[in-house]
Amino acid sequence: MITGASSGIGEATARRLSREPGTELILVARREDRLRALAESLPCKVSYCAVDLTDDDAPQRVRAHLSEHGERLTLLVNNAGAAWRGSFAEAGYANVHRHMELNFDAVVRLTEALLPTLRASAPSAIVNVASTAGRVARARTGSYSASKFALIGWTDSLYAEERSHGVHVGMVLPGFIVTEGFPATELRERALTRWVVSRPEKVAEAILETGPGGRAERYVPRPYALAAVARILMPSLVRRVLSGGAAGALTTSTTADDG
């Protein structure tokens, strides 16, 4: 099961997983037309569940869909997410709330509803798509970072708790990846920064690596791990760089900003 499968990383993951022998997929997102078109283009058995994951009854609806398609679940990829830029002074608690609702609460609520099935289907796995922004925060992305910091902390704890139940919990931390929601236009326009941007297919590979029996975490691209290390070992340097003029170049606009 892949959430946020209607575009970007989720869609690339669905395409990648569909090439694995014996795969049966459930695609989850709001845009039904996109899910239907993707399902029709994949070479494996696929169903889809069009749902807004922030709705109160979303976990039950996804759970009911799963029951209709068999009682086994060997991989849950919690990927759906979005970012709305804005400083705290401008965007306030409302912006923190909408990030937490989608990027954290919806993940926790769906996982709660599906964990009994994942345990019953063990060996199985959960892969949470976090972000490098869940290790290092920049100006105007505080609400997004808060939701991903929360997701990372919760994922680490779940990893330790579910090990003995045969449910592997993996985590992927992408950097700048060109997708519909995160076009990274500002970075791609400049020759100096173009190289820092990667593709959703790379994240899809990392999701496979952190799936059942796999690794606990993967940065995509891998060198982004250095940013996380620097934040711990050289906090004042990182703070100085990220509050200086150059840091503005690293805060890209997202499509959620217009929505």
Ligand X SMILES: NC(=O)c1ccc[n+]([C@@H]2O[C@H](COP(=O)([O-])OP(=O)(O)OC[C@H]3O[C@@H](n4cnc5c(N)ncnc54)[C@H](OP(=O)(O)O)[C@@H]3O)[C@@H](O)[C@H]2O)c1
Q: Which residues are catalytic?
A: 144
Are 17 and 43 in contact, with CB atoms under 8 Å apart? no
Which listed range, 28-36, 61-69, 211-219, 240-248, lies at the site for ligand X (CB under 6 A)?
28-36
Place of tokens 């009682």: 71
Site for ligand X in 50-69 (CB under 6 A): 52-54
- Position among 59, 170, 174, 221 found at the interface with ligand X (CB under 6 A): 174
177 forms part of the interface with ligand X (CB under 6 A): yes
Q: Which is nearer to ligand X, 117 or 128 (CB)?
A: 128
Least CB distance to ligand X at residue 256 (A): 7
CB 6 within 8 A of CB 31: yes
* Residue whose CB is less far from ligand X, 13 or 124: 13
Shortest Cβ 12–ligand X spacing (Å): 8
Q: Give the shortest CB-172-to-ligand X separation in angstroms.
A: 8
Residue 29 engages ligand X in binding (rule: CB under 6 A): yes
| Least spacing, CB of residue 174 vs ligand X, in Å | 4
Exactly one of 38, 39, 49, 79 binds ligand X (CB under 6 A); that residue is 79
Kindly state whether residue 208 participates in binding ligand X, applying the rule CB under 6 A: no
> How would DSSP label each residue in 129-193?
E--GGGTS--TT-HHHHHHHHHHHHHHHHHHHHHGGGTEEEEEEEE-EE--SS---HHHHHSTTT
Q: Does the footprint of ligand X cover residue 187 (CB under 6 A)?
A: no
Task: Provide the strand spans (E) within 24-105.
Answer: 24-29, 45-50, 75-78
Binding of ligand X by 180 (CB under 6 A): yes
- Please give the Cα distance from 79 to 76 (Å, whole number): 9
3-state secondary structure of 74: coil
Point out which span in 15-23, 27-35, 111-119, 225-233 binds ligand X (CB under 6 A).
Answer: 27-35
Cβ-based burial of 247 (10 A; exposed 0-12, middle 13-18, buried ≥19)? middle
In the complex, which residue's CB is closest to ligand X? 181
Q: CA of 145: how far to CAs of 47, 89, 99, 109, 114, in Å?
A: 32, 16, 9, 20, 26
Q: Are 143 and 99 in contact, with CB atoms under 8 Å apart?
A: yes
Which residues contact ligand X by CB under 6 A? Answer: 4-10, 29-31, 34, 52-54, 79-82, 102, 129, 131, 174, 176-177, 179-182, 200
